[in-house]
Structure 1
């Protein structure tokens, strides 16, 4: 579906300076922005392609099919172009890259060996006795958590290297009793290795379907709203797939550098760099990949001595981006309804004004008469007329007898 919506840069009518679409005034001469009628452009790059999007009802994931050859695949075809700037709830994937089984194949290779101990002993400086202080279930914080002002300002001591650290653990042998991933492994500091009770590998699409929305891939509870600082486990009311990456420096603010650093943890769908603010937004195809990357890249460096600040990205306030996300979700929902043989055509009739559908009630199966709806109200007026006619007939007979 061609639903990409974006806003073009505009040129000042006074000084001819090119300005970003979000600027209400010219950066050079401060002249007001003139609202052009063609400011909104709807991308039509996909109209010539024979590939279409479809939604798998069993996984609620987007896949692609060819309308002529009936070929299906998980990867976004190169002919469809890059994924839209805002894809809403459902991930579309990176165009032209064979990522369907890439991370599953990597996990197969890693699980053929035991997991390595990343450090010799677990540090105890980050431990605390649970229950000693009051716990806020809304923000997932204990009293005193905000006292450490140096948190997330010091560089990370360890870093996870999948090529040397990943492997099978007790979680792979026990079965489905434990289904979460090791948080210390993602941060590069697990001292248990093969004896760990959690997974030491990458999360995949199958893991996301198994975990659900109420917990992240590490087993921590997600909440109804995001924290004020957009850190923590995220919000289960939205499919958090975009990471805010702050603390970038000039030599690391390139798409290739950021892509190579974050694609290690999962399929990256889009990288958007804001040079003016020295930040970037990395969007993954799957939520669990973003959760793993958030912990793995926190306080790490790319190519210099920067300290990355990784948080959850807020929703894009741009109304054009909101429109694109709503259109993307609507297209996916329509595709899901069609896959379940549900008609999307409008009904040929309309209900009367003020009509309310009666709520369904649990009916007894012992009495067959209860299987039918109560239609007594439809005959109330007719019954009243019959009673009045009967009384009138009695009055006529009495008058005849009196004569």
Structure 2
């Protein structure tokens, strides 16, 4: 299978095919800040998007890869980028290398470079919160996404798995028949952020279905952030996963050159870290990536890793500012101690 690194990104749509940025009038006053009409009946705003991301076909190298861009193209995720290889943002599915770079750069921007908020919206939509790591998506609107096509629960779960697994490594998927909704948990939060935008208002129908030609008559998937699982066992499992992810990011930090000044500077940083925090040396960190009963839950060790990560983040941020789509510098935020 050809890697996206071996080809240029595809132009997904022509500029002339893009819809107007102003939605159809449903009220008396148009709010330019929220880009929607008010003082009227909004009606059913759910729809099946005419654009869809095809990862294998559309992914490829862009100008953003050559410029060292960290963030992904939101329009690419929605299947509607008209720039292709000329785009300043990345056009591929976030992988472990991308996730490591994003984690070291900032905790308050999502994978598209948008600022997160302190709290989730009441409807659990939107960009998300920087206070908690959420890798689980709620998937609703399944009946509308299937155009009321009758399928068995196992078939519905299989389709959810098929369309979401193309967008990153999945930890767990659960379909709740009584509620006709599903939950998709990704291995990394960046993939959840990407999938939330890519799968919103998409259909679950396949080209082999007889209803495929009428898919635009459906209402599309409703993809939101999932609420936190109150089950104590799930809470404990989440804490263990966060600790493991922190350790994996630390290994990535030590083994890879994330400093734009070059490998020599990075090696000096690693030598200094080994002297200051012997526990954070490459060999010792890798030993910590053993099962949890082998010292994984050492709180002191986790805190030291966070301090190391924060120190290196400061050095990397001062070395090279990131550039936003409008050409101005984006604000760089250090990682929170609560991550």
1:281 aligned to which of 167, 183, 186? 183
**Contact kept in structure 1, 2:135 and 2:185, CA below 8 Å:** yes
Deviations 1:326-367 (CA, angstroms, capped at 9, x unpaired): 465578889999954799899xxxxxxxxxxxxxxxxxxxxx
**Contact kept in structure 2, 1:252 and 1:258, CA below 8 Å:** no
Shift of 1:295: 1.1
Corresponding position: 1:310 with 2:223: yes
Unpaired segments of 5 or more residues in structure 2? 24-29, 144-149, 206-210, 251-276, 289-294, 300-339
Deviations 1:350-393 (CA, angstroms, capped at 9, x unpaired): xxxxxxxxxxxxxxxxxxxxxxxxxxxxxxxxxxxxxxxxxxxx
Shift of 1:166: 1.3
* Higher strand residue share: 1
**Distance in 2 between residues matched to 1:311 and 1:266, nearest whole Å:** 17
SS at match of 1:111: helix
Matches within 5 A, 1:311-326: 311-326=224-239
Aligned CA distance change for structure 1 residues 328 and 111 (closer, same or farther; 3 Å): closer
Aligned CA distance change for structure 1 residues 146 and 219 (closer, same or farther; 3 Å): farther
Aligned CA distance change for structure 1 residues 329 and 158 (closer, same or farther; 3 Å): closer
**Contact kept in structure 1, 2:22 and 2:36, CA below 8 Å:** no
Aligned CA distance change for structure 1 residues 332 and 296 (closer, same or farther; 3 Å): closer
Corresponding position: 1:169 with 2:169: no
**Distance in 1 between residues matched to 2:278 and 2:245, nearest whole Å:** 10
Aligned CA distance change for structure 1 residues 330 and 134 (closer, same or farther; 3 Å): same
Unpaired segments of 5 or more residues in structure 1? 1-105, 136-140, 347-403
**Distance in 2 between residues matched to 1:166 and 1:195, nearest whole Å:** 13
SS at match of 2:76: helix
Question: Rg: which structure is higher?
Answer: 1
Aligned CA distance change for structure 1 residues 162 and 151 (closer, same or farther; 3 Å): farther
Aligned CA distance change for structure 1 residues 252 and 117 (closer, same or farther; 3 Å): farther
Corresponding position: 1:251 with 2:151: yes
SS at match of 1:265: coil
For this pair of structures, how many residues does the alignment match? Answer: 231
2:48 aligned to which of 127, 130, 155? 155
Tell which deviates more after alignment, 293-302 or 141-150.
Answer: 141-150
Shift of 1:187: 0.5
Give the TM-score normalised by structure 2.
0.58
* Higher helix residue share: 2
**Distance in 2 between residues matched to 1:332 and 1:338, nearest whole Å:** 20
User: Which residue pairs with 1:41 in the alignment?
Assistant: none
**Distance in 2 between residues matched to 1:245 and 1:156, nearest whole Å:** 16
SS at match of 1:202: coil
Aligned CA distance change for structure 1 residues 330 and 298 (closer, same or farther; 3 Å): closer
User: Which residue pairs with 1:241 in the alignment?
Assistant: 135
Higher relative contact order (CA 8 A, sep 6+): 2
